[in-house]
Amino acid sequence: MAPRLGFLCRWGKEKDPQKGTPVVVTMEKPNFSVVEIDGPDAAFRPVEKSRGKNAKQVTWVLLLKANRAVGCITWLLTVLWALLGTIKKRLIYRQGVAIEGGKLGRGKLLFGVIRVFLVTSIAILVFEILAYFKGWHYFQNSNLHIPQASELQGFLHSLYVAWLTFRADYIAPLIQALSKFCIVLFLIQSVDRMILCFGCLWIKYKRIEPKIEGDPFKLDDVEGAGYKYPMVLVQIPMCNEREVYEQSISAVCQIDWPRDHLLIQVLDDSDDESIQLLIKAEVAKWSQKGVNIVYRHRLVRTGYKAGNLKSAMSCDYVRDYEFVAIFDADFQPNPDFLKLTVPHFKDNPELGLVQARWSFVNTDENLLTRLQNINLCFHFEVEQQVNGVFLNFFGFNGTAGVWRIKALEESGGWLERTTVEDMDIAVRAHLNGWKFVFLNDVKVLCEVPESYEAYRKQQHRWHSGPMQLFRLCLPAVISSKISTWKKANLILLFFLLRKLILPFYSFTLFCIILPLTMFVPEAELPVWVICYVPVFMSLLNILPSPKSFPFIVPYLLFENTMSVTKFNAMVSGLFQLGSSYEWIVTKKAGRSSESDLLAAAERDSKTMNQALIYRGASESEISELAHLKEHKEVVSAPVKKVNKIYRKELALAFLLLLASLRSLLAAQGVHFYFLMFQGVTFLLVGLDLIGEQMS
């Protein structure tokens, strides 16, 4: 008879439900052996609980699972909604970034396109669900015609053959003709760059540079002392320059020049009263130190910088001065600036302008500043220096230069007709026979824009203004009395080739034709056009700044993508569009590489001169300075920086790189097309070009 183990098993399970308790069973008959049982056999194990569940328990389990599914879907929708909100804030509304109200509507177009695409996708999904419930999914509807595979293949084949025929007969010839025209312009501009580089090498080899004979500032020469220190007027135009006004005024006030032969004009166009008070206090501080400095403020900012300079030159006391030096608000001239520039005017009555070179304090701030340094170094050391040596003419840079006031007056003075008043006065002075001198070894510290948005606005003004000026001054150039060679240089090289042709062919060839060759292989560009010549030209551009050689690939892509902005600006200036009259002050950061530039003035203002300022000031000035001190003590709340994504530029640069690689591989016999990948990339670029315009 088998032993009964039910009670023992239950007793063992109650003691330890996880592990069975060993049970020793002793049988009375000796023919049975002693058996040690660690746990019940499979036949004696309890039945699973799920087998005994009733309908109510199953319902609760299903409800629990449904609750979890709904919670998961809700969480996914919440995450998707938060992601869309983040994209909307960062790419469209840009929270934390101050923008004009009119620019907001431009960014909504792309978001609307994305919204339409999303709604279309949802509609297709709803249609699929309805089709499923209608029975179309199982092809149970006899009235529904379902195309066979042969029909689809035949239709697609016919469509593809029609596309190939249309592409070869109509699209490819147009692209080839336009590409040949742009290649010719590209070669002409490349030859011009090479000639400028050879001219720069010749200047270096022959050591050609403007020199001053003797030492015009010898102390033992008393007879010519009056001429050696002529009357010089220094102008500092600014507008809402909170970050840089102090260092600029301090640097100019420390220029080594007799104080009775020097007058400093601070031309403030600021519309912020707190900034006006700060600038007034800085002017008052240096005035108390004995510096001949005045503060001027216009109530109406007409004509922008040109109107500001024109208003300052209309003062009666300006007639007592012979030269005028101009410095923008972020420029910090060295104390010997006037002694290195003004003597060039001596015994040279035809000289109207002496231009110094810019030197940047923030070239290593980020990749954008490094790429800007490449272009600006080439501009000053190659373009300006070669034109100054061989032609005695170049475009005035608007700052860090000294003008003969007589040259300004005979050329018509400052005009408010364009946003490039510096180039305007330079062209008119050149037409009147005045010569220019560029000093490559005299450098003035300044800043380059550190943000891409500020750089784009600056480039828009620099490329729309010349085209606007070209329309206005072309009749004057043709009817002027200068030589035919100078007229041709001014029209063909200075304006057309370097200001119009360059952005046109760069945009058309590298931003339109090159991406199209991915889809139209019949219009393949030569390898030397998309690779060898651009790399060679980039190497020539980097020669004046050899430390920038590691950035040659980003520089190539950067220049090609920036051609979109430059082309847009060129068209707006050529056809007198509304954006060609925009003037937005370039944002500065207030960087300073010379630590001792302001140290002496700061120490003096905190010690011995503080009492002098208040003792020599009137009650109204004292109250104004006290009010100013309160403004300076107010700490502005930190502005949260937003990592803005410039999709158009990044996508276009990536597309150009992809097109170049594909063309190179095709030239080597590797013919393959990432059709899906290229199509999606091209679609994104097209949507972004149509959509948001980040001005």
pLDDT in tens, 530-564: 888 888 888 889 989 988 888 888 888 888 888 88
Residue 278: name the closest of 256, 316, 250 by CA: 250
Region 11-38 average pLDDT: 48
- pLDDT band, residue 160 (cuts 50/70/90): confident
- Residue 602 maps to a domain: no
Q: Which DSSP state fits 499?
A: I
Q: Which residues pair with 339 in a beta bridge?
A: none
Q: Are strands 323-326 and 401-404 parallel, antiparallel or unpaired?
A: antiparallel
Give yes or no for residue 675 having a pLDDT over 50: no
| Structural domain for 435, as ranges | 232-508+543-575
Which pLDDT belongs to residue 193?
A: 93
Residue 279: name the closest of 266, 289, 262, 264 by CA: 266
The two tokens of residue 490 are 């001014």
Q: How far is CA 482 from CA 61, 488, 497, 538, in A?
A: 96, 10, 20, 35
Average pLDDT over all residues of the chain:
76
- pLDDT band, residue 511 (cuts 50/70/90): confident
Quote the number of domains for the chain: 1
- Residue 681 maps to a domain: no
Give yes or no for residue 346 having a pLDDT over 70: yes
- Residue 375 maps to a domain: yes
First to last CA, the chain: 98
218 against 631, higher pLDDT: 218
Q: What is the spatial distance between Cα 312 and Cα 305, in angstroms, rounded to a whole number? A: 11
Residue 191 CB-half CA count within 13 A: 7
Which tens digit of pLDDT belongs to each residue from 329-340?
Answer: 989 999 999 999
Give yes or no for residue 219 having a pLDDT over 80: no
Residue 347 among the catalytic residues: no
Helices (H) and strands (E) in the chain, counts: 26, 9
Q: Which of 268, 328, 330, 422 is catalytic?
A: 422
Q: Which of 269, 328, 424, 688 is catalytic?
A: 269
- Greatest Cα pair distance, the chain, in angstroms, is 147
Q: What is the spatial distance between Cα 132 and Cα 617, in angstroms, rounded to a whole number? A: 88
Which pLDDT belongs to residue 386?
A: 96
Which of 100-104, 108-112, 340-344, 555-559 has the weakest average pLDDT?
100-104
- Residue 76 maps to a domain: no
- Residue 140 maps to a domain: no
Residue 505 CB-half CA count within 13 A: 21
Residue 271 among the catalytic residues: no
- Residue 176 maps to a domain: no
Which pLDDT belongs to residue 672?
A: 44
Q: Do the beta carbons of residue 514 and residue 526 sit within 8 Å?
A: no
- pLDDT band, residue 591 (cuts 50/70/90): low
SS in 3 state form for 621-676? Answer: HHHHHHHHHHHHHCCCCCCCCCCCCCHHHHHHHHHHHHHHHHHHHHHCCCCCCCHH
The two tokens of residue 278 are 């700060």
- Residue 668 maps to a domain: no
Which pLDDT belongs to residue 336?
A: 93
452 against 265, higher pLDDT: 265
Give yes or no for residue 261 having a pLDDT over 70: yes
Helix or strand holding residue 16 (H, E)? none
Which pLDDT belongs to residue 413?
A: 94
- Residue 648 maps to a domain: no
Residue 561: name the closest of 691, 655, 445, 463 by CA: 655
What is residue 450's three-state secondary structure?
A: coil
**CATH number of the domain encompassing residue 266:** 3.90.550.10
